[in-house]
Each structure stands twice: as C-alpha cells, then as structure tokens.
Amino acid sequence: MRLQLKFAIYNALIKLAILGVLAIVLPPLIETISYHYIDRQLDVHYEKLMRVINKGGLQQIIEEDCSYDDYNILKQEFVEVHSLENSSRPLNTKTFKTEEWDVEGDKLLYRVIHTEFIYDNQLYELNIGESIEGITELKNAFMKYGLPFFSIFLVITFFIDLGFVTLVMRPFNKIVTKFKNANDPLKYEPKPIKTSTFEFGYMDHTFEELMLDIKKAFNNEKEFIGNVSHELLTPLSIMQNRFENILAEGKADDETAVKIYESQKTISRLTKIIRALLMISKIENAQYLRNETVDVKQTVEEVIGELEERLDQKQLTIQLDLKPYAIEKGNHALLHTMLYNIVNNAIKYNKEKGSITIILSDRHLTISDSGKGIEKEKLPLIFDRFKRFNTNESNSFGLGLSIVKTIAHFHDIQISVESKENEGTQFMLTLPN
C-alpha cells in the first residue's frame, strides 16, 4: 500500500473516531445544557410568580376549587396551582422533573418545577412547566441529518487528504525515481529536486553526496585496476620471454625444465586474469567504440564455429533457431566475446552427450543448456567478479560472466538467468532496438 494512501486512511479513521465520539456524546450533552438553561428560566418564572402571590395576587386568580391553570396558545409553557390537604415535601423546596403532562387532551413532554407553599392558611402546590419538544426534535434531527452529513463529509475529506498527501509526497517520488534510474554511478550527475519540505531536501542532498562518493570510489577502482594491470603485464611478459629463452637454449636439466614449464603456466593464468580485468576496466571507462552494425545471427554462428571442436569432444547436440537481427550501434569484438563466454560456459558445465539450444527471435536471444545447473542461492552472485562456484575447474578465474555482464551493460542489453540443478541453465538477453 502506498504511503499517501496510508496517510489518507489514517486521517479518515481519526475523523471517523472523532465523529463517533461526537455522535455518542453530543445528544446527551445538548440535552443536559438545554435542561440547565430551562431550569434557570423556570426558576426565574417561579421567583416572579411567588412575588406576585405574596402581594395577594393569588386570591384574585384562583377559582372556587382553589386551583388555577394557564397555558399559552402554543402550549409551550404553563402555570398550574392547586390546593393540597397534606404536604409531600418540605415547603418552598423546588424540584425539577421531566415528565409527560396532559394538556387539553394532548400528552406533551415538559420540564416542570414543583414546589409547595402556604397562602392564607391553605397548602398549595405550584407547577410551572416549559415544553421540551424542541429539544427532542433537535436530537431526532441530529440523528436523522447529522450522521449522513458527517458521512459525506468524511468521504469528501478523504479524497481531499489523499490529493494533498499525494501533492506533498511528489518530491519524495521524484527523488526515488531519480536514484532508481541512476543505473550507472559513473554517469551520474547531480540534479537537485526542487522542494519546500526540509526533510525531502535533506534526504535528496544526502543521497546526492552518497552517489558522488560511489562515483568517486568507482573511478578510483577503475583507475587502480587499469594502472595495476598495465604495470603487471610488462614484467610478466619479460619473465615469460626469459623462461622461453632458457628452454630454447636447452641448458636446463629435466627437473629444472619441469619447474620452468609450471611457472610458465602460472604466468599464463596471471596474464589472462590481468587482461580480463583490463578489458572490464576499458569497457567501464568507455574506451571502446560502439560504431558498428553487428549481425547477431552471424556472430552466434562464428562463435559456434570456433567452439565446434569442444562441442565434438563432449558429443553435444546444438540446436539453432536464429532469425536475422542486427544491433545498430555495437562493438563486434565485445559482443563476440560476450556470446563466446556464455556458449563456452554452456559447453564447460554441460554433461556428456548433452544439448545446447540457441534461439534468436526479434530482440530476444536465449541460450539454454542441459548441464548441471546452478544452485539457487548462488544464482544472484554469478556475475560478481572472482566468484568461482566450481573449484575443480583450474582454468576458471570467475571473470567470464563478469565480462559478459559488463559488455551487456555497455550495449544496453538486459540479461537474466534461470537455472535448475541437474536440469540446466538458461541465459536470456533482451537486445537493444
């Protein structure tokens, strides 16, 4: 799940939780506040009415049965006084209640203040009520319209949040894309991403410095390999000539001649390694030109021709299905070396009387063998330099596939490998347009 979607969902869940709490808390809170306000109003009405009664006003309004009741036209408020025989509560004690009241045949909910008082030696009960139908209607309206409104609000704000987070994260995505596409540290050039977010700017700057350090390390490595290779080839060549001269003069006894011959084999292996490293260094330094149109089908056939003797030695069957395809900007010698190394490996690690299949169709070149395959955990390491998985192979230096990878990268060829133990290995190359 993308980070901006997680942020948007997180904000939506927070709002949903807040709205849930409000839906639970708000109705009773509205009721409590409204009751408190109505109770204060009823208390004011009570004080005014008692002042009127104390001035003798009650005698003028009570009827023959010593009672009085009055409702306004909308039945929102009422005052009711009636006589009592006995008191049920302390005198002049005010009690607030919410209760249903029968008003001219209509049963309505009221907030009522009850109190008892004595006037002219007669015990009376005074009830003053105010309708709370408005509060009930407000609560019902909140539940009816509030929840759908908040649901729509939640959906709209979710997409607004998603758009905002996407906008904020845009520099981050640009930074990731920039460094993801930086396949070759040697060709990397700093290009800061414009952003007003400090953290993204700091991250971009840090990665820029890291890439420049990697580029510098790569350059140092290439320069080191190139210099060392040149410096080593000359003395090795001199030693090789001296040994050949000693053997040619015939002055060495048999034991010495055997030792010299073994030394010549060691020098030969060192020379091959150094030349391989020198080739990798030159390719990485772009010292080869890509100015030739290379016929891939013809190059494969040339490689097969050169390795025909080795194919016969192992009695291998080779199947070719090659359709014409040319690389417009390539280096024939390097591509020949790349294909030679792959096919040579297919022969070297194949079984007796095995098979090799090479298919070239459109841009896709596949080279498969029926060899012993490569262990799954070693497969990601086969292009690493000096990685030798078959220690019994004295002529292998672990540089053949590293050269293949370097040449493929130099020509923008995508290369991948699949392998199963005891079934074989398949190299798949996607050639450039």
**Residues contacting 350, CB < 8 A, separation 6+:** 314, 316, 356, 369, 370, 371
In whole angstroms, give the CA distance from residue 345 to residue 12. 58
Cβ-count burial of 239 within 10 angstroms (0-12 exposed, 13-18 middle, 19+ buried)? middle
In whole angstroms, give the CA distance from residue 106 to residue 100. 10
**Residues contacting 198, CB < 8 A, separation 6+:** none
Residues 306/312/318/323 CA torsion (nearest 10 deg): 30
Cβ of 285: how many Cβ atoms within 10 Å? 14
Beta bridge pairs of residue 330: 292
In whole angstroms, give the CA distance from residue 185 to residue 288. 19
**At 249, which amino acid appears?**
E
Tokens of 101: 């009241």
- Reported as a pLDDT band with limits 50, 70 and 90, residue 72 is low
Q: Specify whether the CB–CB gap between 193 and 175 falls below 8 A.
A: yes
**Residues contacting 330, CB < 8 A, separation 6+:** 290, 292, 293, 294, 411
- Reported as a pLDDT band with limits 50, 70 and 90, residue 425 is very high
- Reported as a pLDDT band with limits 50, 70 and 90, residue 60 is low
Query: What pLDDT, on a 0 to 100 scale, did the predictor assign at position 62?
Result: 67
Query: What pLDDT, on a 0 to 100 scale, did the predictor assign at position 323?
Result: 94
Mean pLDDT rounded to a whole number for the chain:
85
In whole angstroms, give the CA distance from residue 81 to residue 70. 9
Average pLDDT over residues 403-410: 91
Cβ-count burial of 281 within 10 angstroms (0-12 exposed, 13-18 middle, 19+ buried)? buried
Express each pLDDT in 117-151 by its tens digit.
888 788 888 888 888 877 777 777 777 787 788 88
Q: Which of 20-34, 68-82, 158-172, 182-196 has the lowest mean pLDDT?
A: 68-82
Cβ of 338: how many Cβ atoms within 10 Å? 26
Name the most confidently modeled range: 160-174, 219-233, 313-327.
Answer: 313-327
Q: Specify whether the CB–CB gap between 207 and 179 falls below 8 A.
A: yes
Express each pLDDT in 334-392 by its tens digit.
999 999 999 999 999 899 999 999 999 989 999 999 998 888 888 888 888 766 655 55
Higher pLDDT, 414 or 82: 414
pLDDT of residue 299 exceeding 90, the answer is yes
- Reported as a pLDDT band with limits 50, 70 and 90, residue 394 is low
Beta bridge pairs of residue 146: none
Helices 147-180 and 198-249, axial angle in degrees (round to 10): 30
In whole angstroms, give the CA distance from residue 375 to residue 217. 31
Q: What is the pTM of this model?
A: 0.53
Query: What pLDDT, on a 0 to 100 scale, did the predictor assign at position 275?
Result: 83
**CA separation, residue 36 to residues 96, 251, 404 (Å):** 10, 124, 86
Helix (H, G, I), strand (E, B), or coil: what is residue 292? strand
Residues 235/238/244/247 CA torsion (nearest 10 deg): -80
pLDDT of residue 205 exceeding 80, the answer is yes
pLDDT of residue 307 exceeding 80, the answer is yes
Q: Which of 264-268, 306-310, 396-400 has the lowest mean pLDDT?
A: 396-400
